[in-house]
Chains A and B, each alone.
Chain A
């Protein structure tokens, strides 16, 4: 049974059963959570609040209050959806639960999502990982590079975090699993479809694969959602490797530049003169690596050109 605080977060923020109401977006939830903290309230107290309380504590309008009530009113029907997901082995974890990814909370603070749908062993989140990102369309050479890098970091005891999409994402995941290591995928769509694949199920059952999705499990592809989840990969991993990026466009570029700016984690980038995107990222501060990199993430500072500036990340 879900704890009372988690129940309320799910009722307010889940996009399931949301035909006739608008769930709180992560930023809206964060705002509300901050105000609750100020009032020493917990999520489970919300249903007990009067309209006046909500106006006073949260600065809500009549419309806002109505929205909150409608969201809470769907708890019953939402339960049935959650049971359906749970029968597939898809569960839900909220910021009020212990197993919620700590790295995300620490690095993303208010912008980490109120809840994730997940399948697999959450304790993988406690282990050290390297993120792998790159375009959906890749050549043989990129594949070889990615697989090579995955093997190296695996040898140092790191698992892979990826976005579970086509291209670099799935190549890296598959390589890590093939090496007997593990993989966390922050996916942004098609959870239910993915979980029907035999290989996926087997790896999850073996405790090697953890799927995390902020998007509701039956959601199809959505560019905005795909963009949003990039930061989870950077935040979850010790370092993230960009294998191939377009220049100044596309998800990989967007995610990497954001990570560099917000310093989610050190960004490593394949040093490839023919890839303008890669070169652009290196120019912006990504650490260039080549085939010869030894995969020792702990010594990454040695690679950094501007040591003083980059170190600040670790000093935080």
Chain B
């Protein structure tokens, strides 16, 4: 052991200079990794986890062992880390989606011939075919899993690649040193990780409190108030920061709002699409702009998480409450890595509990969804997700979720784009999933307690993570006994927010590809609709609320909606030389037709009756593209004597999947329309989980 210590200290000196010492716990973690083979490090950001794997790598490489593979959501090592590694003669590189295929091939070659010492890669890249095919020829001396809480079932994340990584780790042959690190784990997650890592695990655990992060809770529940606070106060905080939201829609809307109020912001969430595949990924673009301080704010879902390491994030604001203290600690932990002080603010919307309840409820597929999807694959021997979508009336996202779940549980596996049943017999472990859901409910309840505590906020947070410190941070709003920034918002800011929320409307991006149905294959739509307009988010202030009321209480859309629609549409009608409007017919109610007539009257164009509805299946009961598209294809047709103008506005009350608009647009196009412009009163929400 003395031998290891001497060598480790020598290595440390090579990294950070003579006369330096290990920080408390670092050497012990190194020794454990090199001898015990299974080590879990739970230490706060800044403790120096990287030094543990640097020193281990140095020692292992000196003994002629293989390279160190770090699996981390981080896209890059910090500059100072790379410099330290290079001083000690370690060659580092990253292998991830930021590299082009030529660079990737070159790095993989170096991994094979051992002319690199440390490779940082993401779980996503690790499981690409390219890397998987190369792995048999790569000699791995040390395996590091960063953000290891993600491989726990009980962690707050549920990402397929981490689930797979979890399996790799449980399969890991003895003799491969394994180091797992995280800054975020409570006792339960640690216990689970110990089991995953296998039997004899050395745990290094230190204090979690970050003494440069001050926490303040803002008791603002209304959307307008929260918007007002954001635009009034963000400019006051020097530097850049993150606003965390629970849904993609909120990200888009807030980013738009901030920009309109002179605060440069960009939205960031998974599934942010590019129009062409050769365009840069908008999220990467956002990361780059933020990193270079070219925008002040990223408005993000949980998607912007562990993988992003900007050292000078000055503030983190939660527009909505995160699901747990673990997630909260992780997210505020983005701030102030390299700053003396950073600010965090936590808001709580009245919608949060509902959204989070929805996330919890849908985190696991239901027993029937899971079984239906599994049986569909087993029956056919193998299936693609499109095959399944065509057979099962289950939402695309729910099918994807069920597939992910079934892969994770080891009941199916994927090859190319097809899923095969594995030899493992299917079962649905309901108790286990319910236990996790229950646990998540309890974690959310704990999160809600934070909102009302009069204890030091930081202490409350780290205590919740089972760091039982009795020390207060001294810098949070509770310790200081005053607000860091006033939660009061000015009338002026409220007006600004209200004006935005009133006037905001959305675009309807047309579908460009058919779904797989009895009528169509997944081919390009020959003449898609034009980009259309949607007045509001369903149920949101102010017009979205009016739409909801009109639909379910008044049985008609009132004058305010007609006027508002006309005022948005007037310039659009003129600009696009739209000659007439028509509407999506319904067998159940006349409210769309009545609204369309009033709107046409206001706009001074004719309202034409062109489409007829032939089937009575409710579109909202159709759960995925194949079923929605097919139902719409069966439902609508053209009146025989209809004369369709070249440029026409197509009006409906609600837009959800967009298939009704797509199919109706296609019918009109076939009957002679050159340009179809969709218009809807409200869009239903898309959620991000």
A89–B174 CB distance below 8 A = no
B199 at the A/B interface (Cβ < 8 Å)? yes
The residue in chain B whose Cβ has the minimal distance to the Cβ of A46 is B175
Residues of B within 8 A of A207 (CB): 425
A164 CA to B561 CA, complexed, in Å: 72
Given known A73-B65, A196-B382, A201-B378, contact A1–B171 (CB-CB < 8 A): yes
A74 at the A/B interface (Cβ < 8 Å)? yes
Given known A2-B174, A75-B175, contact A88–B66 (CB-CB < 8 A): no
A286 CA to B167 CA, complexed, in Å: 48
A1 CA to B132 CA, complexed, in Å: 21
Residue-wise, chain A 71-99 has the 8 Å CB interface mask toward B (1 for contact) of 01111111111111011111000000000
B175–A47 CB distance below 8 A = yes
Of B66, B137, B171, which contacts A79 at CB under 8 A? B171
Smallest CB separation, A119 vs chain B (Å): 4
* Complex interface residues of chain A between 84 and 120 (CB less than 8 A to chain B): 84, 86-90, 119-120
Residues of A within 8 A of B132 (CB): 80, 84
The residue in chain B whose Cβ has the minimal distance to the Cβ of A196 is B420
* Complex interface residues of chain A between 10 and 55 (CB less than 8 A to chain B): 10-11, 16-17, 19-20, 44, 47
B171–A204 CB distance below 8 A = no
A197 at the A/B interface (Cβ < 8 Å)? yes
* Complex interface residues of chain B between 133 and 172 (CB less than 8 A to chain A): 135-141, 143, 164, 167-168, 170-172
Residues of B within 8 A of A202 (CB): 378
A99 CA to B410 CA, complexed, in Å: 21
A198 at the A/B interface (Cβ < 8 Å)? yes
B413–A78 CB distance below 8 A = no
B294 at the A/B interface (Cβ < 8 Å)? no
The residue in chain B whose Cβ has the minimal distance to the Cβ of A10 is B173
Residues of A within 8 A of B173 (CB): 2, 7, 10-11, 75-76, 78-79, 82
Smallest CB separation, B497 vs chain A (Å): 50
Given known A2-B174, A11-B175, contact A87–B136 (CB-CB < 8 A): no
A76–B136 CB distance below 8 A = no
Of B136, B143, B171, B425, which contacts A17 at CB under 8 A? B136
Residue-wise, chain B 169-212 has the 8 Å CB interface mask toward A (1 for contact) of 01111111000000000000000000000110000000000000
Interface of A, helix, strand, loop or mixed by DSSP: helix
Smallest CB separation, A12 vs chain B (Å): 11
B69 at the A/B interface (Cβ < 8 Å)? yes
A206 CA to B378 CA, complexed, in Å: 13
A83–B382 CB distance below 8 A = no
Residues of A within 8 A of B168 (CB): 79-80, 83
B423–A119 CB distance below 8 A = yes
The residue in chain A whose Cβ has the minimal distance to the Cβ of B421 is A201
A88 CA to B170 CA, complexed, in Å: 16
B174–A44 CB distance below 8 A = yes
B486 at the A/B interface (Cβ < 8 Å)? no
A219 at the A/B interface (Cβ < 8 Å)? no
Residues of B within 8 A of A89 (CB): 410, 422-424
Residues of B within 8 A of A83 (CB): 164, 167-168, 171
A77 CA to B471 CA, complexed, in Å: 45
A287 at the A/B interface (Cβ < 8 Å)? no
B423–A2 CB distance below 8 A = no
A86–B410 CB distance below 8 A = yes
Smallest CB separation, A139 vs chain B (Å): 30
Given known A79-B172, A196-B420, contact A87–B410 (CB-CB < 8 A): yes
A77–B137 CB distance below 8 A = yes
Residues of B within 8 A of A119 (CB): 423
Smallest CB separation, A236 vs chain B (Å): 20
B407 at the A/B interface (Cβ < 8 Å)? yes
A77 CA to B135 CA, complexed, in Å: 5
B426 at the A/B interface (Cβ < 8 Å)? yes
A62 at the A/B interface (Cβ < 8 Å)? no
B137–A1 CB distance below 8 A = no
Of B69, B421, B422, B425, which contacts A76 at CB under 8 A? B69
A73–B66 CB distance below 8 A = yes
A44 CA to B199 CA, complexed, in Å: 15
B271 at the A/B interface (Cβ < 8 Å)? no
* Complex interface residues of chain B between 425 and 448 (CB less than 8 A to chain A): 425-426
B262 at the A/B interface (Cβ < 8 Å)? no
* Complex interface residues of chain A between 50 and 68 (CB less than 8 A to chain B): none
* Complex interface residues of chain B between 331 and 375 (CB less than 8 A to chain A): none
A44 CA to B198 CA, complexed, in Å: 16
Residues of A within 8 A of B410 (CB): 86-87, 89
B397 at the A/B interface (Cβ < 8 Å)? no
Given known A7-B175, A44-B174, A79-B176, contact A201–B423 (CB-CB < 8 A): yes
The residue in chain A whose Cβ has the minimal distance to the Cβ of B414 is A87
A8 at the A/B interface (Cβ < 8 Å)? yes
The residue in chain A whose Cβ has the minimal distance to the Cβ of B66 is A73
A185 CA to B424 CA, complexed, in Å: 17
A282 at the A/B interface (Cβ < 8 Å)? no
Residues of A within 8 A of B137 (CB): 17, 19-20, 77
Residues of A within 8 A of B420 (CB): 88, 196
B422–A87 CB distance below 8 A = yes
B423–A74 CB distance below 8 A = no
A284 CA to B399 CA, complexed, in Å: 61
Residue-wise, chain A 184-213 has the 8 Å CB interface mask toward B (1 for contact) of 000000000001111001101111000000
A8–B175 CB distance below 8 A = yes
A81–B139 CB distance below 8 A = no
Smallest CB separation, A90 vs chain B (Å): 7
Residues of A within 8 A of B176 (CB): 75-76, 79
The residue in chain A whose Cβ has the minimal distance to the Cβ of B126 is A80
B381 at the A/B interface (Cβ < 8 Å)? yes
The residue in chain A whose Cβ has the minimal distance to the Cβ of B382 is A196
Residues of B within 8 A of A306 (CB): none
Residues of A within 8 A of B66 (CB): 73, 76
The residue in chain A whose Cβ has the minimal distance to the Cβ of B197 is A1
Smallest CB separation, A173 vs chain B (Å): 16
A81–B143 CB distance below 8 A = no
A291 at the A/B interface (Cβ < 8 Å)? no
A80–B198 CB distance below 8 A = no
A4 at the A/B interface (Cβ < 8 Å)? yes
Residue-wise, chain B 46-67 has the 8 Å CB interface mask toward A (1 for contact) of 0000000000000000000110
Which one of B69, B138, B421 has the greatest number of beta carbons of chain A within 10 Å? B421
Given known A2-B174, A7-B174, contact A205–B407 (CB-CB < 8 A): no
Smallest CB separation, A260 vs chain B (Å): 35
A89 CA to B410 CA, complexed, in Å: 7
A196–B381 CB distance below 8 A = yes
B422–A88 CB distance below 8 A = yes
Residues of A within 8 A of B141 (CB): 73, 76
Residues of A within 8 A of B199 (CB): 1
The residue in chain A whose Cβ has the minimal distance to the Cβ of B142 is A76
Smallest CB separation, A259 vs chain B (Å): 29
Residues of A within 8 A of B198 (CB): 1
A205–B425 CB distance below 8 A = yes
The residue in chain A whose Cβ has the minimal distance to the Cβ of B165 is A83
A3 CA to B414 CA, complexed, in Å: 28
Given known A7-B173, A7-B174, A8-B174, contact A88–B139 (CB-CB < 8 A): no
B139–A2 CB distance below 8 A = no
A88 CA to B423 CA, complexed, in Å: 6
Residues of B within 8 A of A17 (CB): 135-137
Of A10, A73, A84, A86, which contacts B139 at CB under 8 A? A73
Q: What are 23 sample pairs from A and B whose C-beta atoms fall under 8 A apart?
A: A1-B170, A1-B199, A2-B173, A8-B174, A11-B175, A73-B141, A74-B136, A74-B139, A75-B174, A76-B141, A77-B137, A79-B171, A83-B167, A86-B167, A87-B164, A87-B407, A88-B420, A88-B422, A89-B410, A89-B423, A90-B423, A201-B422, A204-B423
* 17 new A-B contacts at CB < 8 Å, known A90-B423, A198-B381, A201-B423: A7-B174, A17-B136, A19-B136, A44-B174, A47-B175, A73-B141, A74-B136, A76-B66, A76-B176, A77-B135, A77-B138, A82-B173, A86-B171, A87-B167, A197-B381, A201-B378, A205-B425
Closest 6 CB pairs of A and B: A89-B423, A76-B140, A17-B136, A89-B422, A7-B174, A1-B198
